A and B are shown apart, each in its own frame.
Chain A
Amino acid sequence: MKSYQGSLVLEAPPQVTWQFVTDPEKIGACMPDVVGYSVLDSEHLMAKVRVGVGPIRAVFEMAIALVGNVAEGRARMEVQGTGMGNGIQMISEMSIEPKSESADQTLLQWSADVAVSGPLATLGGRVLENQVKKTTEKVFENIRQGIASSLAR
């Protein structure tokens, strides 16, 4: 299990951010290298994601659950995926609050515990950790870009 964390300043009010990160349709599109996804209900979606580490390439079936607590300004994203005999599990916590200087900006702080199992973890060897970190960060970068482009429309 590897733990990562980061924070983003989003050019959007907290309410917009909140709606985005708890919307399965939007989150599905933010998965890095997504091949396709289907929304199951207001809190769950399935996504097919292409994952590659070192010599291993696999399409993962990801079950994603989104749980939000508006009062606390916290959201939780649980991702569990399998593909080609590999397993990926990510549990991410997000806190969403106004950035102090501006009501039009949001501070999104996130942390993620990620575990990778199977040949992907073993054959990926030494390059795995960097790749997992990069992919995890990419999820949140995609969220930032997704919010920005939704506001631009």
Chain B
Amino acid sequence: MAMEATESRPLGKAIKRKEDPRFIRRQGRYLDDIVLPGMLYMALARSPYAHARIKNIRLDEAYKVLGVKAILTGADLEKMNLSWMPTLAGDRQMVLATGKVLFQYQEVAAVVAETRAAAEDAVQRIEVDYQPLDAVVDPYAAMKPDAPLLREDREQKDNHIFHWEVGDREGTENTLASSPIVVKEFIRMPRVHPAPVEPCGCIADYQKSTGKMTWYVTSQAPHAHRTVLAMVSGLPEHMIHVISPDIGGGFGNKVPVYPGYVCSIVLSLQLGRPVKWIETRTENIATTNFARDYHMTAEIGATEEGIVTGLKVITIADHGAFDAAADPSKFPAGLFSIVTGSYNFPIAFAEVDGVYTNKAPGGVAYRCSFRVTEASFLIERVMNTLALRLNLDPVELRRRNFIQPDQFPYQSPLGWTYDSGNYDLTLDKALELVGYEKLREEQAERRARGELVGIGISTFTEIVGAGPSNTFDILGIKMFDSCEIRIHPTGKAIARLGARHQGQGHETTFAQVIAEELGLTTADVLIEEGDTDTAPYGLGTYASRSTPTAGGAAALAARRIRQKAIQIAAHLLEVSADDVEWNGEKFVTKGLESRGVGMGEVALAAYTNLPQGMEPGLEATYYYDPPNLTFPNGAYIAVVSIDRGTGQVAVERFVAVDDCGTVINPMVVDGQIHGGLTEGFGIAFMQEIAFDEDGNNLAPNFMEYLVPTAVEAPHWETGRTVTPSPHHPIGAKGVGESPNVGSPAAFVNAVVDALSPYGVTNLEIPLFPWKVWNVLREHGLTL
């Protein structure tokens, strides 16, 4: 049952979310709610072609629209050396097209006007002469020697972006060659989009009188965006104030910098007036960063007893027209090397080749920690294939290959050191919740009646919390995070963090962490994020990193306050500091528990009654650089049935048992799990950003790109085991992305299980009913 924020010792309790009263009363303040005096509106002209040369742009008619103040083209930006901007992946991306366009809906011109309607009208009157060129849509075709060259600006004259590999290629190939059993599977994870309810946007407000730029932006990483803006624009960083207001979902989509941001800043600088730009739904889906688009081939070797011997993975990554993936600098394929998953592979090898195509750029960590969903989907799917090949129950195959508790910290063959886990325990809990043995009996009975019923297992391990600064950076900025806490004289606190929540519940959960450490209640602690003029520097919220990094900083900043507070407490108790201890709620005299003082009394004394020579005040800042990543895991079980008449898959049950270490707020964790499972359901059954052969985006809106609602979403049954991270200050691991990482494979494994008696071992997602129906028809299973 949900508890009030006035509960003491709040860590681990289902405290009601402090942010919800304002959200449910429509009192959130989102970007489009902000209207500044004298504000102008910007709209973008976009290319209808996926690949075309620009011969001419005529603006005369557009300028005739009443209210138009200025129009920018790539040629204008070229004169300012701003027609290209750096991407987070170290590539560069056109801000406004010059020379040619490389994907449909690419930005070609920016119009700013007194009203949004006038700006949109003027966009329609911009005349662009295009010379269409052959589009390259298939990443495999893009790599052929005779493929059209897309990026003429690069010295390298082909469409290849990068080659990345990890592990022992030769050793793995030798192992596979000598393994009695080898299964090989091609698994494609199609292009999808995070599609947050609120699209991206910004207001650039440059005040010529002060020289200060205030930039309101839908940002998951406001400090990083401030630094990028300073680097791109040349504005001094201290004269840039980034405010990230309430955000209506991010899921990785609001990490990168987009051309519309740069244009609105340039126009505000030119005109000295605030310029607002906010995307339409189509602009969001068709141009801002997509996710996945990984084309993977995996081979697993095994003994006849089902013990895995080696794993080899070859991958083509379609990055679109520019490499704008939001991965840490040293990881062009993100953390894909978690692909060995929960299993004790003695040897492994993985390689990824990035390729340009005529599609929107991207490759964000859509509710996953940098390509972890791709890796997890692959290994969980191919383990399923191995179970089929060996005629083993997929549960039994997993048990035979799990990394065992006594192996932690576990060194994976692809270079990671897993912190902790008890995979059998998590799986046991899931099996118990779902009633696995009985379920298999029921399945057999239903199959005998002609029903198509499947049970799918996914026992995934994630890798989150980027990261240790010796390994992880973005554009050279180390991936630590931060928290500053100030205790006011009356014992209330304000804490500011470098993270930026987008619905995760930080205002509650971080208040719980700090309140637990300081003997306060959640109601006593106000959390602020998203303002670079007040919050300490941090790298933001994505990739499940908030709790592993900023959450660690919050706990350690609070402990730093306790270090000073214990001196003040000793002063108040008139004993030596060595004779005072913290009992979880207050400072007490050792051996005399009844004699103590709480944080409220200590706080008041910090401003009114200090020990001689002590600096007044009670505050601390901590920049937390985690020693390692954290490795949440889970065991998911899906039960499905398939309608022979329509191919429609019904998810009858879904049990999700997660182990995210110490739980801060079980209600918030359940909410995260429900949301992520629903997104995973969408990915498995409903979503693909497909293109036709000319590079036309065939799903740039919610008519074609489907987002599951409460009507489609199955009922989720959740459970949990707790294996704390040994290195995190409170043992927490992060959970926001686990359900999206782990669930797609469970769904697909269930559908494959339903059809495996008829010879089906692999199915390509999304499992649209028509695709499933075609498979049914091929196998003579339709009505």
Contact = CB atoms under 8 A, between A and B. Distances in A.
Interface string A113-140: 0011111111101000000000000000
Given A82-B130, A84-B124, A125-B704, A1 B46 contact: no
Contacts of A117: 48-50, 104, 132, 694-696
A115 B104 contact: no
A115 B694 contact: yes
A112 B525 CA distance: 69
A115 B132 contact: yes
A89 interface: yes
A122 B703 CA distance: 10
Given A85-B45, A125-B703, A1 B694 contact: yes
Contacts of A119: 48, 282, 700
Contacts of A118: 48-49, 104, 696
Contacts of B132: 87, 89, 115, 117
A119 B698 CA distance: 9
Interface string B701-715: 101100000000000
A79 to B, nearest CB: 12
Nearest to B693: A1
B236 to A, nearest CB: 38
A7 interface: no
Contacts of B123: 85
A51 to B, nearest CB: 12
A137 B467 CA distance: 60
Interface string A84-128: 111101000000000000000000000000011111111101000
A114 to B, nearest CB: 10
B128 interface: yes
Interface in B648-705: 692-701, 703-704
B19 interface: no
Given A1-B693, A117-B104, A86 B701 contact: no
A30 B697 CA distance: 31
Contacts of A121: 48, 692, 694, 696
Given A1-B693, A87-B130, A123 B49 contact: no
Chain A contact residues, majority secondary structure: mixed
Contacts of B124: 84-85
A116 B698 CA distance: 12
Q: How big is the B interface, by class?
A: 20 to 34
Contacts of B701: 122-123
Nearest to B48: A118
A3 to B, nearest CB: 11
B704 A87 contact: no
Interface in B44-60: 45-46, 48-50, 52
Contact of A82 (B127, B696, B699): B127
Contacts of B286: 122
Given A115-B694, A119-B282, A125-B698, A85 B704 contact: no
Contacts of B46: 85
A78 to B, nearest CB: 12
Given A85-B46, A125-B703, A116 B128 contact: no
Given A87-B130, A89-B132, A122 B698 contact: yes
A118 B48 CA distance: 4
A122 B696 contact: yes
Nearest to B51: A117
Given A87-B132, A117-B104, A122 B697 contact: yes
A89 B51 CA distance: 13
Nearest to B127: A82
Contacts of A123: 700-701, 703
A82 B286 CA distance: 20
Contacts of B694: 1, 115-117, 121
A50 to B, nearest CB: 15
Contacts of B697: 122
Contacts of B127: 82
A84 B282 CA distance: 14
A82 B703 contact: no
Nearest to B692: A121
A87 B46 CA distance: 11
A43 to B, nearest CB: 18
A85 B700 CA distance: 14
A82 B282 CA distance: 19
Contacts of B700: 119, 122-123
Interface of B: 45-46, 48-50, 52, 104, 123-124, 127-128, 130, 132, 282, 286, 692-701, 703-704
Given A118-B48, A123-B700, A125-B698, 5 more contacts: A115-B694, A118-B696, A122-B104, A122-B286, A122-B699
Q: Which 4 A-B pairs have the closest CB atoms?
A: A118-B48, A87-B48, A121-B696, A117-B48
13 contacts: A1-B693, A87-B48, A87-B52, A87-B130, A87-B132, A117-B48, A117-B132, A119-B282, A121-B692, A122-B698, A122-B699, A123-B700, A125-B698
